Amino acid sequence: MSRSGWRKRLARAAVILPPYAWLAAFFLLPFVIVLRISLSDPASAQPPYRPLFDWTGGWDALMAFLGALDLENFETLASDSLYWEAAISSVTIALVSTVLLLLIGYPVAYGMARAAPRLRPLLVALVILPFWTSFLIRVYAWIAILKPEGLLNQFLLALGLISDPLTILNTPTAVYIGVVYAYLPFMILPLYAALERLDWTLVEAAQDLGSPPWKAFWTVTLPLSLPGVVAGSLLCFIPIVGEFVVPDLLGGSDTLMIGRTLWSEFFSNRDWPLASAVAVVLLLIVVIPIVFYREIEARRWEAR
């Protein structure tokens, strides 16, 4: 091969390699480690799992190591209803939250996209503004708002709408409020990106052909903003399934979420293998919608 041919190959590799190297180093490698721990047994030692792999032992040591790995932790997960409930509850909370986020985020994004062009950058900045403050602080602020003697109750009492403070903190309602609040920008921004690109003469054309505004929305605007809906939903659903901070701070003890289960297995019980198994299951739950999405995308491209 000629010199320039090699150069070209090298250049191409230099472009393609970094993302793969990144994924291998920061996703694949940690995942292999977690998977390996999830197949081990807990031990009161340092590190708190067995078997350990003896690098000096050669072939026999490797075989012994692999022989000691088993699916015991996954069996535990499957047989104990606590984990099932945590998983189902997480997915339910994530689904309901995603729907709520869509219902709130879509009108907001729509309004932003129809605002005067010179106003739009300001509106986008306002949506991103909360990120200037730490996530943790913002969730703590919600405690101050939602607690029995908090701002919300004071306000409602002052208006005379209620006579006794509402119990919101440490209920699933508080979790929904916190999650929807925290993830709203992630829903609004992709929706806004899709709607802002939309050619509004298409909506006019629909109305010209006899569609009232709601029908023009349903048959033209919504289908054309679907990529934004899917992107925003994935961007919210996936992290919400594994969300730990919000249910921990706002949800109280009776809100089951898989992220909290993982945390307590890891830190309270020091059962690293079981915690790792929960992490693997969580990953699988999250991968399903992504695979589903890719399938839809692939079919859409084929249809073209």
Partner 1 sequence: MNDTTRALRPAIGAVRRSFSPWTDPQARPLIRFESVTKRFGEAVAVEDLSLDIFEREFFCLLGPSGCGKTTLMRMLAGFEEPTAGRVLLAGQDLTGVPPYRRPVNMMFQSYALFPHMSVADNIAYGLKQDRLPRGEIEARVEEMLRLVQLEKLATRRPDQLSGGQRQRVALARALAKRPKVLLLDEPLGALDKKLREETQFELMDLQVRLGMTFLVVTHDQEEAMTMSDRIAVMDHGRIVQVATPGELYEQPRTRFVAEFVGDINILEGKVAGMEEGGWRVETPHASQALTVFDPDEVLGHGQPVAVAVRPEKMTIHRQRPQGPNVLEGEVWDIGYLGDWTVYRVHLGSGAVVRVSCANASRFVADPITWDERVFVAFAPDAAILLSR
Nearest alpha-carbon partner for 72 in 287, 271, 284 = 271
Least distance (Å) between residue 205 CB and partner 1: 4
Single residue of 212, 287, 290, 297 touching partner 1 by CB under 8 A: 212
Q: Amino acid identity of 84? A: W
What part of residues 271-290 is at the interface with partner 1 (CB under 8 A)? Answer: none
Closest to partner 1 by CB, 24 vs 226, is 226
Q: d(Cα 46, Cα 44) in Å, to the nearest integer?
A: 7
Q: What is the DSSP string of 227-285?
A: HHHHHHHHHHHHHHHT--HHHHHHS-TT---HHHHHHIIIIIS--HHHHHHHHHHHHHH
**Stretch in the footprint of partner 1 (CB under 8 A) among 38-46, 62-70, 113-121, 205-213:** 205-213
Residues 251 and 200: beta-carbon distance below 8 Å? no
> C-beta of 292: minimal distance to partner 1 in Å?
20
Q: What is the DSSP letter of 210?
A: T
Among 3, 118, 299, 304, binds partner 1 (CB under 8 A): 304
199 near partner 1, judged by CB under 8 A:
yes
Looking at beta carbons only, is 198 or 245 nearer to partner 1? 198
- In whole angstroms, what is the distance from residue 263 CA to residue 35 CA? 17
| Residue with Cβ nearer partner 1 (168 or 206) | 206
3-state secondary structure 69-102: CCCHHHHHHHHCHHHHHHHHHHHHHHHHHHHHHH
Indicate the DSSP class of residue 51. P
From the list 219, 245, 285, 293, which residue makes contact with partner 1 (rule: CB under 8 A)?
219
Structure tokens at 236: 């919210």
The answer to the question of residue 210 lying near partner 1 (CB under 8 A) is yes
Minimum CB distance to partner 1, residue 218 (Å): 12
197 is a contact residue toward partner 1 (CB under 8 A): no
Size of the site for partner 1 (CB under 8 A): 18
Q: Is 297 among the residues that bind partner 1 (CB under 8 A)? A: no
Q: Does 215 engage in binding with partner 1 (CB under 8 A)?
A: yes
Residue 211 interacts with partner 1 (CB under 8 A): yes or no: yes
Residue 187 — φ and ψ, nearest 5°? -85, -45
Residues binding partner 1 (CB under 8 A): 199, 201-202, 204-212, 215, 219-220, 223-224, 304
